[in-house]
Chains A and B, each alone.
Chain A
Amino acid sequence: MARLMMCIFVLMFSGALQAQILVIVNAKNPVTHLEHKQVVDLFMGRVSVFPDKQPAQTFDLKTGTPLRIGFYKTLTGKSEAQVDAYWATLVFAGRMSPPKQLVDEKTLIKEVAADPAAIAYVSKQPLPANVKVVMELVPDE
């Protein structure tokens, strides 16, 4: 049943692939809005705290996910491979780790809803009350 649901989801969103992407945090998080640069710095590992110095935990989707490709392309202008290479470099140097990858958007939403430090991205959709949008990304294409 759940599998079927997901399939429907995928089909539903595949048509609106170019649709907006939402960056979401826990509703309890005092941050209400993030600049584009702040989002880049968080997701690319430069900073690990929100502007109010509260620790931040980034969540990502599995490699190869269309949303992930779209997200990074829109956010940094880089391809997914480039982003992965970037991370590989940093990981190889040590002490750094890329955002934690989750299987799908649903899990992401769930994770953000549960963790006040979490930050993640999802495609534009109705969201539960315990998460809030801090930035909207509009893909170029």
Chain B
Amino acid sequence: MNIKSLHIKVSLSVAAAALFVVIMSSQFFYQRSYESSFSDSERSVQQLLETVQATAAIAAYVGNRELAQQVVTGLTQNDIVVYAKIVANKETIGQDGKTSADTKQTLISLKLKAPFDEKEIVGELAVAPNIPLIALRARDSAMATAMGLAAQAAVVALFVLILVYWMMTRPLSHLSGRLHRITPGDGSRLDVHSLHRGDEIGLLAGDINALLHTVEKMLEEERQLRHRVELLETRFRGIFEDSSAGIFLVRDQGTLVTANPAFFRLTGLQETHPAEHVNDNIIARVFLDQEQAGSLIKLALISGRPHSADLRIRTEDSEGVRWVHCIFSSAGNAQQGATVEGVMYDVTQRKYSEDRIRELAEKDSLTGLSNRQAAETALAELIQQAPIGGCEFAIMLIDLDRFKFINDTYGHDAGDKVLYTVAKRLRKLVRDSDVVARLGGDEFLLLLNHAGNIDMVERIARKILDAQQTPIDVQPGVLEKVGMSIGIALYPDHGDNPLSLRKHADQAMYAVKRQGKNNYAIYQADGVSAAGQATPE
């Protein structure tokens, strides 16, 4: 049994109180009862003496020993008297019982008066009461009283205990047990015996029931709310999961927080082990243009507005570069730093078609070189970009020498073949960064970056002329050589704008044509521009 249970506590308290009352009261009543019982016995002895007083007085009056003896013997018959004697004329005329030293002290005596003369004292009657017996009886009587009291107290305590148990502790423990078994939300309530309607136990149960009701209502509301949230979450998760656009969350350091399957599909990263990306810079791993991506993220964080761009991503397959349009927007500040939400979708196809359109617009369809439009744009850009007094560059204007003849003799296909071959040769002879364009007909333009040095330009021109020594099979079995006239102008020495540069290069080229073709010339400000050296024919 639980030592802390209410019933045990109450029982122990009541028992302790009862014990205390029993001890105190029995002590008090024992004393009282002992004293009264003792004095009762003494009074009894006194009465006994008074009963035999008359006879004893006669015996003493006449000095009759027999009578006296009868009286004392009669007295000692009582067990509360141990000794009795009658004295007349200072002489003991009758005595009975045992005497001892202490009985002498407790003698109770009565003066005997003459039967016919009240004034004359004729003797004395003395008895020794049986003190131990009286005391024993008094003790017995007192003990009986005390025991009775104790029993009474015990019975009362027992009744109190039973009533307290019945009226309070049992319903309380019943209540607490029921409450212990109730799980809020299961709909059960405390029931109270009708005996407790209106009392504190009934009120307590009622309040607990009200509390249970409130808790259940709140739980139900909570449950409904949670259900709605779950529904919403499922919907959003569906959008997130099924979206064709890659959606991802990164910290400003570039580590991945979360991403949807489309993200992994697009980037080719392993979705199965997201943990391994935790400390990676996912931006560097995903984007080829990682610096641009990084700056977009910073912009988005600083401005708080979305920033987007077409970016290239790394792919392991050999299909070529893949492009994505990526929108970065700030997703608020978490504890571990600012986070950025990114949405990316594949724009490779669009990018390629855009490229194709641009190519169509900027390229010469026959040779694959830049067209006039592109060349002019490139020239203008070059001039714009070149810092004043900084880099220098050269332009070469080229015209084929025998093209009209070949075209007229062998047909347009042959002409086209010549143009195509020359274009290939030109493209091969200069750096990739240099622009090679066909301006139209048999006219070509070269923009040579960083070729400010005249020697270097001349060397290139010579190499170009040398390359034309190889004949071109314009028709099966027909080989023809084409020569070219090259006019060169240098920026900024020979012009600081596209128009003058073109004009001066043109002048130099016509000078070459006048002087016999198949050579190059660098524009001279004084008019003659035949710095070139004739290629051996």
Within 8 Å CB of A78, what residues of B?
115-116
The answer on a CB contact under 8 Å between A46 and B59 is no
Known contacts A44-B61, A45-B62; is-contact A93 B67 (Cβ 8 Å): yes
Cα separation A93 to B73 with both chains bound (whole Å): 13
The answer on a CB contact under 8 Å between B66 and A46 is no
Contact of B67 among A44, A46, A89 (CB under 8 A): A89
The answer on a CB contact under 8 Å between B61 and A96 is no
The answer on a CB contact under 8 Å between A77 and B116 is yes
CB within 8 Å of B: which of A71-113?
75-78, 86, 89-90, 93-96
Tell me the minimal C-beta distance from B119 to chain A in angstroms. Answer: 10
Q: Count residues of A near B (Cβ-Cβ below 8 Å).
A: 16
The residue in chain B whose Cβ has the minimal distance to the Cβ of A47 is: B62
Within 8 Å CB of B58, what residues of A?
86, 89-90
The answer on a CB contact under 8 Å between A37 and B117 is yes
Within 8 Å CB of B67, what residues of A?
89-90, 93
Check A31 for interface membership: any CB of B closer than 8 A: no
Within 8 Å CB of A44, what residues of B?
61-62, 115-116
Check B70 for interface membership: any CB of A closer than 8 A: yes
The answer on a CB contact under 8 Å between B55 and A46 is no
The answer on a CB contact under 8 Å between A40 and B117 is yes
CB within 8 Å of A: which of B20-76?
55, 58-59, 61-64, 66-67, 70
Contact of A95 among B61, B64, B117 (CB under 8 A): B64
Cα separation A46 to B117 with both chains bound (whole Å): 13
CB within 8 Å of A: which of B97-121?
115-117
The answer on a CB contact under 8 Å between A96 and B64 is yes
Within 8 Å CB of B62, what residues of A?
44-46, 90, 96
The answer on a CB contact under 8 Å between B59 and A93 is yes
Known contacts A45-B62, A46-B61, A46-B62; is-contact A93 B116 (Cβ 8 Å): no
Tell me the minimal C-beta distance from B474 to chain A in angstroms. Answer: 196
Within 8 Å CB of A93, what residues of B?
59, 64, 66-67, 70
The answer on a CB contact under 8 Å between B116 and A94 is no
Cα separation A102 to B479 with both chains bound (whole Å): 220
Tell me the minimal C-beta distance from B130 to chain A in angstroms. Answer: 26
Which of B66, B116, B117 gathers most chain A CB within 10 Å? B116
A28-58 interface code vs B (CB 8 A; 1 in, 0 out): 0000000001001000111000000000000
CB within 8 Å of A: which of B335-364?
none
13 A-B Cβ contacts within 8 A? A37-B117, A76-B115, A76-B116, A86-B58, A89-B55, A90-B58, A90-B62, A90-B64, A93-B59, A93-B66, A93-B70, A96-B62, A96-B64
Question: Given A78-B116, A90-B64, list of 14 further CB < 8 A pairs?
Answer: A40-B116, A40-B117, A44-B61, A44-B115, A46-B63, A75-B116, A76-B116, A77-B116, A78-B115, A86-B115, A90-B58, A90-B62, A90-B67, A94-B66
Interface residues of A (CB under 8 A from B): 37, 40, 44-46, 75-78, 86, 89-90, 93-96
